[in-house]
Structure 1
Amino acid sequence: MQPLSWVEVNLDNIKHNVEEIRKIIGNSCQIMAIVKADAYGHGAVAVAKTVVDAKVQQLGVVCLSEGVILRKAEINCPILSLGPAMPNEIQDYIHYGITPSICSWEQIKLFSEQAISMGIAVKIHIKIDTGMGRLGVLYTEAFEFIKKVSSLPGIKIEGIFSHLAASDAANKSYAYEQFRRFKGVINRLKKIGISVPITHIANSGAIIDLPEMRLDMVRPGITLYGLPPSKLVSQQISLQPAMSFKTRIIHLKEMPKNLPVHGFLPVYGGISYGRTYMKKKLKIATIPVGYSDGYSRALSNKAEVLIHGQRAPIIGMVTMNFCMIDVSHIPEVKIGDEVVLFGEQLSVNELAEICSTISYEILCGINSRIPRIYVTSLCDISVQPQPL
């Protein structure tokens, strides 16, 4: 059964984006593809398999459960959980081979104790807070912390990393300050003979604009999906957006111009909740997408869609399950016609600007009940429901 609304994900475009990233970082630098938040709404399993096939070395998720989904899908490459492990998750991290991010002494002690009891060594990455203020060991305490961890039994420090707060800003001074703090810790460790195999700090903004920060590995997120992290980064990389959000017209009708009744009440009070006023006769199409699907109410009376390659405005308030489009200027429109909410010709960034947000939020906000349909040049379109 063909869905009425769907998200189309072009896996070839994701492969292309990996190749573009590889071109600018070179072959000596590893890539950790960030597939957290269900691969930014694109579908983690399908995207992970695609990027592994494109020869990325590692995957990044945000928690244990995301990593387990990938393992159960028989994805066997290294997976780093970027969020901290909880005490009741230690055994599962080890069982599924998910590399934990260490942010505290309490965490690392639990992993060490479990590793000793099992007679194994557990690979870890230590997160350093160089100025994001979110997760990680403070950079002022990181040297002593890592020195202490390096002597713990059952623990192998595979990597240390940090996260940049403003790499996609026009002014890169804070990114450089964070990098200086991070390199300071690395250099102090080297002086006492602690050499960590993988150091990484570069997110999408740094991959594009700050080549000195690429180090041993980079962590592309939004660029993997074909979008720049902001309008302020350079355009030296040729990205192809992977996601399109589409639906179909389910109802059409002619709406007459407002007519007065008893001098003040119109026969047709307007369109949708709040009664958007109509000053002329309109042809209205209804589509089965609303804010419960991730199409924000903030788009009401502001956004446009594509029908037959022509732009058509959303009119009235976006409701929970439906919204209305003025198609008066598209005479050939009919029920069942495809409607593009965003995609190649109508960028998700346009919707993000209307909503005063970023593209990430729009992509991640599309409800998981909307099926993802994966497109490649090698096979037909196939419907893939989201993992629960």
Structure 2
Amino acid sequence: MNNWIEVSEPRLGHNLRTIAAAAGPDATVLAVVKANAYGHGVSTCAPMLARAGARWLGVTSAQEGAAVRVALGAASGAEHAGVRILVMSGVLPPAIPALIEHDLTPVVWTVEQLRWFAAAPVRVHVEVDTGMSRQGVKPGADLEALLAEIAEQATVQLDGVFTHFVSSEVVGSPITTHQQRLFEQALAQVARSGLRPAWVHAANTSAVDNAADPAWLPSLARSLGARTLVRTGLALYGHTLAPEGEPGHPHLHDRLKPVLTWKAGVLDIRDLAGGDRVGYNATFTAPSPMRVALLSVGYADGLRRELSGHTSGDGGWVMLHGKRAPILGRISMNLTTVDVTHIPEARTGDVAVVLGRGVSAEEHARIAGTIPYEILCGIHPCP
């Protein structure tokens, strides 16, 4: 391949252990591997996480879950047996055979969804909508009807109940506090129904990072005789969102290690004269003689076009021989030009670091005006 990613298994395992320590002894980590493990390669990362001790993995769809189950089955080792897979974004009827075949656990929030499983035994996690207004059942009458349906269906077992925080990266957010109170009400309804879930969960990466009351959820879970899950994705891969609001809580960021290195080959080195133009629409003009390198990576591979440089230094950069090589002109579909005037040792056939030591997903996100999630999930090297 002209550009490729490398994933560090020791770093991935380190991050999983770091998150588990921060979440506390009462919590089990659910390692989120959706979106191709945030661009890191799910068939590579899922077995690595299982070897590191992950007992739960989170995916978006039954199709994704089936691929993860196959990847786990292809890897040797007893640690892969018994790994649970949560399908976090719901399923539709055509996906149910795959869900049953691969022993996947669906998220549900409507009576209609539950009735799709009338002919097949399944363990489900019920999502409670406490403020996201995305998916989930509202506490009150809707949740009561859902719980009654579960109680009536012999094929459906309530394995978990959870919610999703809207703004967990905001320290001390009143929205999070309100969601906590609504979730407490929902769990009280569950308790009154007589159903006993095995798992209760609410926290994502930022909730672990900024938790003001780490005992809140484990205490709720124990009141139902349940255990606590912590759903974490971004931190697994070595990144967090910067916390907003008052500091003072322990943060994961400095203890995590980025897992991915994205590399690209140098296809050519050439000299430019002053006045030569670079790239589409001639957005960069060499102010004086320069030396440039052509890299085998572009926006089709996930390198954001917003990283293009109109002057040397106002866009993104790659690392070559341990030095910054600024991107010049517009990034093309599969090619990018960088300034190596100050790197005389640069040669055709060298390998540049597109993302890794010296150039982070957070820096790409800042320049592109987005978040690290989008940078990582967008990586898909073309063969």
Amino acid at match of 2:119: Q
- Which residue does 2:251 correspond to in 1? 236
Q: Matched residues in 2 for 1:46 and 1:196: separation? A: 31
Residue pairs, 1:85-96, within 5 angstroms: 85-96=91-102
**How has the CA–CA distance of structure 1 residues 214 and 325 changed in structure 2, closer, same or farther, with 3 Å as cutoff?**
farther
1:40-71: CA deviations, max 9, x gaps? 01111221111111222211100000111122
Decide which of 79, 84, 90 is 1:84's aligned counterpart: 90
Give structure 1 stretches of 5+ with no counterpart. 116-120, 259-267, 371-388
TM-score, length-normalised on structure 2? 0.88
Q: Matched residues in 2 for 1:10 and 1:95: separation? A: 31
Q: Which deviates more, 179-188 or 56-65? A: 179-188
Cα distance, 1:290 vs. partner? 0.7
Cα distance, 1:192 vs. partner? 4.2
Decide which of 297, 306, 309 is 2:305's aligned counterpart: 297
Is the 8 Å Cα contact of residues 147 and 189 (structure 1) preserved in structure 2?
A: no
Is the 8 Å Cα contact of residues 206 and 213 (structure 1) preserved in structure 2?
A: no
Amino acid at match of 1:182: F
Work out whether 1:274 is the aligned partner of 2:281. yes
Give structure 2 stretches of 5+ with no counterpart. 74-79, 219-227, 310-314
Is the 8 Å Cα contact of residues 25 and 214 (structure 1) preserved in structure 2?
A: no
Q: Matched residues in 1 for 2:216 and 2:4: separation? A: 38
Cα distance, 1:172 vs. partner? 1.9
- Which residue does 1:262 correspond to in 2? none
Cα distance, 1:92 vs. partner? 2.2
Give SS of 1:224's match.
helix
Cα distance, 1:214 vs. partner? 4.7
Residue pairs, 1:343-362, within 5 angstroms: 343-362=356-375
Is the 8 Å Cα contact of residues 87 and 107 (structure 2) preserved in structure 1?
A: yes
- Which residue does 1:98 correspond to in 2? 104
Give SS of 2:135's match.
coil
Q: Which deviates more, 243-252 or 171-180? A: 171-180
TM-score, length-normalised on structure 1? 0.87
Cα distance, 1:222 vs. partner? 0.3
Amino acid at match of 2:168: S
Is the 8 Å Cα contact of residues 30 and 56 (structure 2) preserved in structure 1?
A: yes
Cα distance, 1:188 vs. partner? 2.6
- Which residue does 1:199 correspond to in 2? 200
**How has the CA–CA distance of structure 1 residues 145 and 225 changed in structure 2, closer, same or farther, with 3 Å as cutoff?**
same
Give SS of 1:202's match.
coil
Is the 8 Å Cα contact of residues 110 and 137 (structure 2) preserved in structure 1?
A: yes
**How has the CA–CA distance of structure 1 residues 103 and 368 changed in structure 2, closer, same or farther, with 3 Å as cutoff?**
farther
Q: Matched residues in 2 for 1:57 and 1:92: separation? A: 20
CA RMSD between the two structures: 1.7
Q: Matched residues in 2 for 1:50 and 1:105: separation? A: 37
Give SS of 2:292's match.
strand
Amino acid at match of 2:9: L
Give me the identity figure in percent.
31
Is the 8 Å Cα contact of residues 207 and 214 (structure 1) preserved in structure 2?
A: no
- Which residue does 1:246 correspond to in 2? 263
Decide which of 314, 329, 341 is 1:328's aligned counterpart: 341
Q: Matched residues in 2 for 1:253 and 1:306: separation? A: 18
**How has the CA–CA distance of structure 1 residues 7 and 103 changed in structure 2, closer, same or farther, with 3 Å as cutoff?**
same
Decide which of 112, 115, 128 is 1:109's aligned counterpart: 115
Q: Which deviates more, 316-325 or 163-172? A: 163-172
